[in-house]
Amino acid sequence: MIKVGIIGVNGYGGGELLRLLAAHPEAEVTVVASRSQAGRTIAQVFPSFRGTRWGHLVVSDQSSPEFDECDLVFLALPHGVSAACAPTFLAKGIKVIDLGADFRLKEAAVYAEWYNQQHPHPELLQEAVYGLPELNREEIKKARLIGNPGCYPTSILLALAPLLPTDLRADGVIIVDSKSGISGAGRTTKDELHFPEADQDFRAYGLVKHRHLPEIEQEASKLAGKEVLVSFTPHLIPVSRGIFSTLNLAAGRATSTQELTELYQAFYKKEPFVTVLTGNDLPQTKAVLYTNRVQLAVRYDSRTNRIIILSVLDNLVKGAAGQAIQNMNLLFGLKETTGLDAPGLWP
Amino acid sequence: MIKVGIIGVNGYGGGELLRLLAAHPEAEVTVVASRSQAGRTIAQVFPSFRGTRWGHLVVSDQSSPEFDECDLVFLALPHGVSAACAPTFLAKGIKVIDLGADFRLKEAAVYAEWYNQQHPHPELLQEAVYGLPELNREEIKKARLIGNPGCYPTSILLALAPLLPTDLRADGVIIVDSKSGISGAGRTTKDELHFPEADQDFRAYGLVKHRHLPEIEQEASKLAGKEVLVSFTPHLIPVSRGIFSTLNLAAGRATSTQELTELYQAFYKKEPFVTVLTGNDLPQTKAVLYTNRVQLAVRYDSRTNRIIILSVLDNLVKGAAGQAIQNMNLLFGLKETTGLDAPGLWP
Amino acid sequence: MIKVGIIGVNGYGGGELLRLLAAHPEAEVTVVASRSQAGRTIAQVFPSFRGTRWGHLVVSDQSSPEFDECDLVFLALPHGVSAACAPTFLAKGIKVIDLGADFRLKEAAVYAEWYNQQHPHPELLQEAVYGLPELNREEIKKARLIGNPGCYPTSILLALAPLLPTDLRADGVIIVDSKSGISGAGRTTKDELHFPEADQDFRAYGLVKHRHLPEIEQEASKLAGKEVLVSFTPHLIPVSRGIFSTLNLAAGRATSTQELTELYQAFYKKEPFVTVLTGNDLPQTKAVLYTNRVQLAVRYDSRTNRIIILSVLDNLVKGAAGQAIQNMNLLFGLKETTGLDAPGLWP
Amino acid sequence: MIKVGIIGVNGYGGGELLRLLAAHPEAEVTVVASRSQAGRTIAQVFPSFRGTRWGHLVVSDQSSPEFDECDLVFLALPHGVSAACAPTFLAKGIKVIDLGADFRLKEAAVYAEWYNQQHPHPELLQEAVYGLPELNREEIKKARLIGNPGCYPTSILLALAPLLPTDLRADGVIIVDSKSGISGAGRTTKDELHFPEADQDFRAYGLVKHRHLPEIEQEASKLAGKEVLVSFTPHLIPVSRGIFSTLNLAAGRATSTQELTELYQAFYKKEPFVTVLTGNDLPQTKAVLYTNRVQLAVRYDSRTNRIIILSVLDNLVKGAAGQAIQNMNLLFGLKETTGLDAPGLWP
């Protein structure tokens, strides 16, 4: 059994780690921490754990000595805070998966520009591995520090990966229109996310410099072998969960929906969590909620010579905690789908 | 491995059986049937199964010979239809759990009155066991035919059970106000359940003779040892899932919230799926969605000498498919929580 | 034109007053105040006023001299605060309609018990008129200070009024199960009303001593001519608006749905805002959202000899701002429906 | 008083016409028709009209002689059906506003290609006026037949209009990502729009040849003075109403958010229904629901040299019935905002 600790268990990412690890046969959560909730039980922090055996788990502070016994610590903390506490665990030989933004970017200068603060430990940026298993599996297996990708970047990079190295894509800005459930904004109350304010509303936010952009462009450029520019507009759907990304880009040559679909199918043939839809099927968020799965569909619009890619995932699972566990499985030599193979929910 | 067949897999109850059995370590779904969906794959019937190994399962017709190899068949069919096909399986030594209404009532005359048709096999009514494990565990273990309780009756009977045999309850009609998510109305489209018609709406329906009433009164009377009358008003919440039942009844003598809570805690002390809330905690549907759990709270209102009991469950899990699997576990000598112990979802 | 001021314009009740008064041909909002929003425009406080002529209105402080020019001031303030500022306006000959709880109860001792504070101006309690026009029209016309009823009490009292003075009701506790949209909890953020926490959830709250109880019992007792006891359980529906109240009470003698319906129809025959449904029609919140209308249906359950009454309204209109304007119309000799006769919205 | 008839009153567009005309001081609905609902009252067709004076209106058949007395007939019918019945009214000197798609396109061949049928009256296409008042006001005033724009085209064309004739836009495909509430799909039940199927789901549909495309390109090309190509992806938001369009296009030269915003403000300075947001404000559907208003915001992304325009409206008001009434006001020489100036709803 892998002994696992979670820091920042009170947020939605932390809670989702706990939920998914409860179903994991090879990992055991031995300690959880949260500054604000220390001393309370998990059942008090998450009503969905009432009556379960994990409900009795008491939230510690992150200085708890129990963390020293862990094989792995998940950090579900605000940016800046993760980076500050990761080295302590690494120094003790404990592996670290950061669900936050601190170990995704390779350049300290880029981090400083987009997060408005100096990175506390820039010396770790090159070592940290970007934890997107479908694109980076072998590096992840050997890592001790993983920067778990952002939810939007995961939905976008998996949608782009098959296309970027090919001549099917022309140069030019890639247009990405993403829509997220409101849990993506975190658990802290905000005036505009008070239920009656957000209910029945659809809105955009974060234009035109959302913090996920440098991460998207860094990884997309690596895949393309040249600089990729993305124009990214995120929106909020009045639901708790789910991300839908719609990508639109210039085709490099005339192609067809069938050729594109076959390219995507071939690319993801062996991937357990990525489904390329065929025929008239189109992705819908409901089909992947609470799972680690991604659904993709590709279309060629011959009228405009553009390619449209649709991508859905659950922002808290494949976009956060599920992907983190997928990374854990790789880190510890387990089958990649361990604890993550449940079907979705309907309705 | 228990070999399991499902008839009526296309509805919400059938799909939920499939989802829960996918996570069950001791049971295997070997055949699924649906008249309307025969020949399609499960991934076509439920988009949430796309990309999973169960997605490739092809829906059969219920006459498929594969059913003969089953140890157990779940029937998720309209009333009348279940009863007509159950004897065939029983005759072959296959156990049957009916998620519909055909084997819940003990009296053929009562069935005829409330369902407006003669029962096709009244001779089975006495043998069939009412499958509410918390109240009927020993009988269930020995059964070959189980009438799985209705969703409302489960929420109401578990709320009443500790109180009915005591002097804390006075005689008199028990007032039950229940609210259900819309999946309780089934998967067939209806004008008034078209999304824009039902969205943002809260309404009552089925007054004053909802078909779950005779089932509630039959079992409540058995528990009380005397006739119990219930006034039952069901409502629809504009969400997919969840039942919230609010019960209001006259106290037999002055009591207190604490005395009542202790009674409920003692009664359900060993029950893995029933949580009695204490202190200021109150049930909320979100805390039990997609789980087999029930949350209860009791209050004494000294001003009116009334007792109020609040009860929540997921209508498709503890109210249908989850409870059916709990019954299966008992039928086959497994630990009762097998495959059913996942925590809930948040948010 | 009646010159109107609103204090507490920033909350949902205040905003709804503004919206409804914008459509009122005989009243003009000349000044609005809010401590927290002073200096901002209405378009900044409510995005729904962007681009309208009211959007430019600047929020004042309540000490603004412009209030002295008003014929009427609406108070949409927390309890205790309303009562403290009402006498100033009354002293200047300005009429006051308080949307809060400070002038609904007749007894200072009852107020102190339920609101945990002494009433700042108990000498006004007897003079203040309970502003439920359907039951109290003549008194309202002559008032200078009106306590606008609570949202739940309005839905419940209108449901009870035809029955209370008759022999159709037996003595005994009246059971009321109410469900409200979340705007009823106000505009201030709360952890449990953060969108992802409240979305898809149905829950109870405020047991067993909700503050609307004394108001309900005071007025119901007056109507019945004897003490009436109510057991009241409020719940939250995951929508912005709407109240659904389900009342259940013992019949005084055998009756029928038809007799009851005729009683209700006769009682409300001349009421422009109350519709008694007939046949199989049942109330639904969506049918009255954003209107000042109430829909009622009555059923007799002969099995249990109980009467069930269903009542719907919009908590911010007939349950607050709309009723306040209905009271204003009466106070100033206008046709009662002025500014309030728009049909509802669908879908 | 303008005498108005509505054909196809049973759908969402028809109902919204009725709701808005109920508040119109210069128009009177004298006859409404629907094949499927003939003989029923409006209160039976729309529960939101129960208890109102329009509720008693009886639905006729479209052959009713009362239509001959009308000054104007609104057609809210499926494409093909509108075109077939328009000439009869025109021949009688009755003006016609078609809310459907039959009189929006100028070329019969384009209609045939996108709607898979021959146009029944191609001779009317050149005469018919495209009823987008902000762009086409003078022609509308003189028309006798108006093709009321589609909901998506309205949101997109108003977002593009200020930019198209300028050098701020570079040539190249305009990328449009639109999201609509589900009422846009009409009132007829569909399996995938059954409440539990659509609830909590976000999905795309209609790729890559949605029928609103030729209408968008026809009008955009006219505004640009050259051919405009649009890549359009529509999606469904799990709410009843609202459209959010996000447009992304290449800038013709370096510009700024401020320059763009000023361009838009100048362009729409005198428009009563179009609000250009400034500062950090962004459009949100909730701000315009149930109103005839459009909110726009523009952003320049200097990193990618792209312009992003955000546009919101209510699909049934400015996207259908409200715009039709705005056209009626112009046709009959009324002030354009008559009956359409109510503020929005909050929350």
Same domain, B281 and B166: yes
What's the confidence (pLDDT) of residue A257? 98
**Residue in the block written with tokens 């086409």:** D136
> Domains in chain C: how many in total?
2
pLDDT digits (tens, 9 = 90+) for A46-100: 999 999 999 999 999 999 999 999 999 999 999 999 999 999 999 999 999 999 9
In-domain check, residue B84: yes
Q: Give the β-pairing of A274-276 and A294-301.
A: parallel
Same domain, D309 and D180: yes
Q: CA of A327: how far to CAs of A28, A216, D218, in Å?
A: 16, 19, 50
For residue C320, what are the contacts with CB-CB under 8 A and spacing of at least 6? C12, C13, C16, C99, C148, C151
What the block records as the tokens of B201 is 């709406």
D238 touches chain B (CB under 8 A): yes
Same domain, B65 and B190: no
Question: 3-state SS string over chain C?
Answer: CEEEEEECCCCHHHHHHHHHHHCCCCEEEEEEECCCCCCCEHHHHCHHHCCCHHHHCECECCCCHHHHHCCEEEECCCCCHHHHHHHHHHHCCCEEEECCCCCCCCCHHHHHHHHCCCCCCHHHCCCCEECCHHHHHHHHHCCCEEECCCHHHHHHHHHHCCCCCCCCECCCCEEEEEEECHHHHCCCCCHHHEHHHHCCCCEECCCCCCCCHHHHHHHHHHHHCCCCCEEEEEEECCCCCCEEEEEEEEECCCCCHHHHHHHHHHHCCCCCCEEECCCCCCCEHHHCCCCCCEEEEEEEECCCCEEEEEEEECCCHHHHHHHHHHHHHHHCCCCCCCCCCCCCCCC
Same domain, B159 and B294: yes
DSSP one-letter code for D66: G
Rounded mean pLDDT, D149-161: 98
Same domain, A114 and A174: no
Look up residue A109 and give its amino acid: A
**Residues of chain B found within 8 Å of residue A346, distances taken between Cβ atoms:** 12, 15-16, 19, 46-49
In-domain check, residue B143: no
D135 touches chain C (CB under 8 A): no
What's the confidence (pLDDT) of residue A135? 98
Q: Which of D235, D310, D311 to mutate to test the interface with A (most CBs of A within 10 A)?
A: D235
* Distance (Å, whole) CA C311 – CA C156: 7
What residues does B229 pair with on adjacent strands? none
Q: Which of A190, A200, A227, A295 to mutate to test the interface with D (most CBs of D within 10 A)?
A: A200
Q: CA of D87: how far to CAs of A7, A318, D144, in Å?
A: 71, 57, 11
Same domain, B16 and B63: yes
**C51·D241 Cβ contact <8 A:** no
A:137-166 residues touching chain B, CB 8 A cutoff: none
Question: Residue A299: which of D177, D208, D244 has the nearest Cβ?
Answer: D208
D32 touches chain C (CB under 8 A): no
Q: Give percent of chain D with pLDDT exceeding 70.
A: 100
CB D170 within 8 A of CB D252: yes
Same domain, C67 and C175: no
B347 touches chain D (CB under 8 A): no
**A198·C193 Cβ contact <8 A:** no
From D285's Cα to the closest Cα of chain C, the distance in A is 9
**Residue in the block written with tokens 């974060």:** A206
Residue C132: pLDDT band (50, 70, 90) is very high
Q: CA of C317: how far to CAs of B315, C294, C321, in Å?
A: 33, 10, 5
**Residues of chain B found within 8 Å of residue C305, distances taken between Cβ atoms:** 173
Residue C143: pLDDT band (50, 70, 90) is very high
Extract the residue ranges of chain B whose pLDDT is less than 50.
Answer: none
Question: Residue D197: which of A173, A283, A347 has the nearest Cβ?
Answer: A347
C44-69 burial, b if ≥16 CB within 10 A, otherwise e? ebbbbbbbbebbebebbebebeebee
Q: How many CB atoms lie within 10 A of CB B135?
A: 18
* Distance (Å, whole) CA C274 – CA D51: 7
Question: Residue C201: which of B196, B233, B284 has the nearest Cβ?
Answer: B284
From B288's Cα to the closest Cα of chain C, the distance in A is 10
* Distance (Å, whole) CA B3 – CA B70: 5
What is the domain extent for residue A231?
Answer: 152-315
pLDDT digits (tens, 9 = 90+) for A163-219: 999 999 999 999 999 999 999 999 999 999 999 999 999 999 999 999 999 999 999
Q: What is the mean pLDDT of chain D?
A: 97
Q: Give percent of chain A with pLDDT exceeding 70.
A: 100
The CA R_g of chain D, rounded to the nearest whole Å, is: 20
**C246·B235 Cβ contact <8 A:** yes
D347 touches chain B (CB under 8 A): no
Phi, psi of B118 (to 5 degrees): -75, 145
Cα A52 to chain center, whole Å? Answer: 27
D344 touches chain C (CB under 8 A): yes
Same domain, D165 and D276: yes
**Residue in the block written with tokens 């087999």:** B292
**Residues of chain A found within 8 Å of residue B342, distances taken between Cβ atoms:** 19, 22-23
Chains that touch A (3 or more CB pairs under 8 A): B, C, D
In-domain check, residue C15: yes
Same domain, A96 and A161: no
CB C245 within 8 A of CB C310: yes
In-domain check, residue A338: no
What's the confidence (pLDDT) of residue C150? 98
Torsion of CA D150, D151, D156, D161, to 10 degrees: 60
A64 touches chain D (CB under 8 A): no
From D272's Cα to the closest Cα of chain C, the distance in A is 8
In-domain check, residue C337: no
DSSP one-letter code for B136: H
C199 touches chain A (CB under 8 A): yes
Residue C47: pLDDT band (50, 70, 90) is very high
Annotated catalytic residue within D33, D151, D159, D160: D151
Beta strand spans in chain D (E): 2-7, 27-33, 72-75, 95-98, 129-130, 145-147, 174-181, 203-204, 230-237, 243-250, 274-276, 294-301, 306-313
Q: Which of B171, B175, B183, B298 to mutate to test the interface with C (most CBs of C within 10 A)?
A: B175
Look up residue C223 and give its amino acid: L
pLDDT digits (tens, 9 = 90+) for D305-343: 999 999 999 999 999 999 999 999 999 999 999 999 999
Q: What is the mean pLDDT of chain B?
A: 97
Rounded mean pLDDT, D289-316: 98
What the block records as the tokens of C43 is 């378009």
Question: Residue B15: which of A46, A286, A346 has the nearest Cβ?
Answer: A346
Rounded mean pLDDT, D214-236: 98
CB D112 within 8 A of CB D119: yes
CATH number, domain at D286? 3.30.360.10
Which chain C residue's Cα is nearest to D284? C47
Cα B129 to chain center, whole Å? Answer: 14
Look up residue B114 and give its amino acid: W
The CA R_g of chain C, rounded to the nearest whole Å, is: 20
Residue D15: pLDDT band (50, 70, 90) is very high
3-class DSSP state of A334: coil
pLDDT digits (tens, 9 = 90+) for C265-290: 999 999 999 999 999 999 999 999 99
CB–CB contacts below 8 A, C to D: 108
C:269-298 residues touching chain D, CB 8 A cutoff: 273-275, 277, 281, 284, 286-291, 293, 295
**Residues of chain C found within 8 Å of residue A196, distances taken between Cβ atoms:** 12, 181-183, 187, 240-241
What pTM does this model have?
A: 0.98
B84-115 burial, b if ≥16 CB within 10 A, otherwise e? ebbeebbeeebbbbbbbbbbbbbebebbeebb
A124-162 burial, b if ≥16 CB within 10 A, otherwise e? bbeebbbbbbbbbeeebeebbbbbbbbbbbbbbbbbbbb
Rounded mean pLDDT, D273-284: 97
What's the confidence (pLDDT) of residue D249? 98
A51 touches chain B (CB under 8 A): yes
**A48·B346 Cβ contact <8 A:** yes
DSSP one-letter code for D305: T
CB B284 within 8 A of CB C201: yes
* Distance (Å, whole) CA C231 – CA B301: 8
pLDDT digits (tens, 9 = 90+) for A140-153: 999 999 999 999 99
B246 touches chain A (CB under 8 A): no
**B194·D195 Cβ contact <8 A:** yes
For residue C333, what are the contacts with CB-CB under 8 A and spacing of at least 6? C141
In-domain check, residue D286: yes
From D327's Cα to the closest Cα of chain A, the distance in A is 28
From A70's Cα to the closest Cα of chain D, the distance in A is 37
Same domain, A157 and A267: yes
pLDDT digits (tens, 9 = 90+) for D60-105: 999 999 999 999 999 999 999 999 999 999 999 999 999 999 999 9
Same domain, C212 and C97: no
From C334's Cα to the closest Cα of chain B, the distance in A is 33
Sign of CA dihedral D322, D324, D327, D332: negative
In-domain check, residue C324: no
What's the confidence (pLDDT) of residue C73? 98
User: Is A70 marked active-site?
Assistant: no
CATH number, domain at D40? 3.40.50.720
Annotated catalytic residue within C17, C125, C151, C182: C151
B208 preceded by a cis bond (ω within 30 of 0): yes
The CA R_g of chain A, rounded to the nearest whole Å, is: 20
CB D163 within 8 A of CB D221: no
> Which helix (H) or strand (E) element contains residue B246?
strand B243-250
The CA R_g of chain B, rounded to the nearest whole Å, is: 20
For residue C145, what are the contacts with CB-CB under 8 A and spacing of at least 6? C86, C90, C95, C96, C98, C103, C124, C127, C128, C129
Please identify, among D79, D112, D127, the residue that sits at the C-terminal boundary of a domain.
D127
Question: Residue A177: which of D177, D209, D238 has the nearest Cβ?
Answer: D177
Same domain, B244 and B112: no
Nearest to C183 by CA among C238, C232, C246: C238
Q: What is the mean pLDDT of chain C?
A: 97
**Residue in the block written with tokens 């304010």:** A197
3-class DSSP state of D286: helix
What's the confidence (pLDDT) of residue B283? 98
Question: Residue D200: which of B12, B188, B240 has the nearest Cβ?
Answer: B240
In-domain check, residue C215: yes
Q: Give the β-pairing of A203-204 and A230-237.
A: antiparallel
